Amino acid sequence: MTVASKKRLVVKGGTVVNPGSVAAADVLIVDGVVTEVGPGLDGDEVLDAAGCHVSSGFVDLHTHLREPGREEAETIETGSRAAAIGGYTAVVAMPNTDPAQDSVMVVEFVREQGRRAGLVDVHPAGCITVGRAGAALAPYAALAGAGVRLFTDDGNGVQDPLLMRRALEYARDLGVTLAQHCEVARLTEGAVMHEGSCCSNMGVPGWPSVAEELMLHRDIELVRLTGAPMHFLHLSTAGSVELVRRAKADGLPVTAEVAPHHLALDHDLLAGWDPVFKVNPPLRTREDIAALKAGIADGTIDAVATDHAPHAAHTKELPLDQAPPGMLGLETALGVLVTAVNPDPRRLCELMSWNPARIAGISDTHGRPVAPGEPANIAVWNAAEVWTVSRDALASRSTNTPYHGMELRGRNIHTIHNGRTVVKNGKALA
CA nearest neighbour of 95 among 168, 174, 34, 150:
150
307 is catalytic: yes
Quick one: which of 132, 181, 262, 417 contacts ligand DOR (CB under 6 A)?
181
Is 325 a binding residue for ligand DOR by CB under 6 A? The answer is yes
Q: Least distance (Å) from ligand DOR to the CB of residue 62?
A: 9
Neighbours of 287 (CB within 10 A): 12
Q: Are 258 and 234 in contact (CB under 8 A)?
A: yes
Strands 53-56 and 8-18: parallel
Quick one: which of 67, 77, 154, 212 contacts ligand DOR (CB under 6 A)?
154
Q: Least distance (Å) from ligand DOR to the CB of residue 326?
A: 3
Q: Kindly write out the interface string for residues 357-396 of this chain, putting x where it contacts ligand DOR by CB under 6 A and - elsewhere.
A: ----------------------------------------
Q: Are 372 and 323 in contact (CB under 8 A)?
A: no
Q: Least distance (Å) from ligand DOR to the CB of residue 180?
A: 11
Q: Kindly write out the interface string for residues 31-70 of this chain, putting x where it contacts ligand DOR by CB under 6 A and - elsewhere.
A: ---------------------------------x------
Is 326 a binding residue for ligand DOR by CB under 6 A? The answer is yes
CA nearest neighbour of 382 among 410, 349, 340, 342:
410
Contact range with ligand DOR by CB under 6 A, out of 137-145, 206-214, 319-327, 379-387: 319-327
CA nearest neighbour of 43 among 30, 58, 24, 60:
30
Rounded Cα gap, residues 264 and 289, in angstroms = 7
Is 260 a binding residue for ligand DOR by CB under 6 A? The answer is no
- Helices (H), strands (E): how many in the chain? 13, 19
Contact range with ligand DOR by CB under 6 A, out of 79-87, 112-120, 324-332, 334-342: 324-332
Quick one: which of 11, 179, 303, 309 contacts ligand DOR (CB under 6 A)?
309
Q: Are 123 and 90 in contact (CB under 8 A)?
A: yes
Is 302 a binding residue for ligand DOR by CB under 6 A? The answer is no
Is 96 a binding residue for ligand DOR by CB under 6 A? The answer is yes
Q: Are 313 and 398 in contact (CB under 8 A)?
A: yes
Q: What backbone phi and psi angles, to 5 degrees, belong to 426? A: 80, 0
Between 64 and 248, CB nearer to ligand DOR: 64
| Active-site residue, selected from the candidate residues 153, 307, 344, 392 | 307
Rounded Cα gap, residues 204 and 100, in angstroms = 31
Is 101 a binding residue for ligand DOR by CB under 6 A? The answer is no
Residue nearest ligand DOR, CB atom distance: 326
Quick one: which of 279, 323, 359, 380 contacts ligand DOR (CB under 6 A)?
279
Q: Least distance (Å) from ligand DOR to the CB of residue 125?
A: 12
Is 343 a binding residue for ligand DOR by CB under 6 A? The answer is no
Is 155 a binding residue for ligand DOR by CB under 6 A? The answer is yes
Size of site (CB under 6 A) for ligand DOR: 12
CA nearest neighbour of 15 among 349, 277, 313, 323:
349
Three-point CA angle 346, 351, 354, nearest 5°? 75
Contact range with ligand DOR by CB under 6 A, out of 143-151, 320-328, 356-364, 421-429: 320-328
Q: Torsion angle, CA of 331/333/335/337, rounded to 10 degrees?
A: 180
Is 280 a binding residue for ligand DOR by CB under 6 A? The answer is yes
Between 260 and 326, CB nearer to ligand DOR: 326
**b (16+ CB within 10 A) / e for 362-399:** bbebbbbbbeeebbbbbbbbbbebebebebeebbbbbb
Catalytic residue positions?
307
Footprint of ligand DOR (CB under 6 A): 64, 96, 154-155, 181, 279-280, 307, 309, 324-326
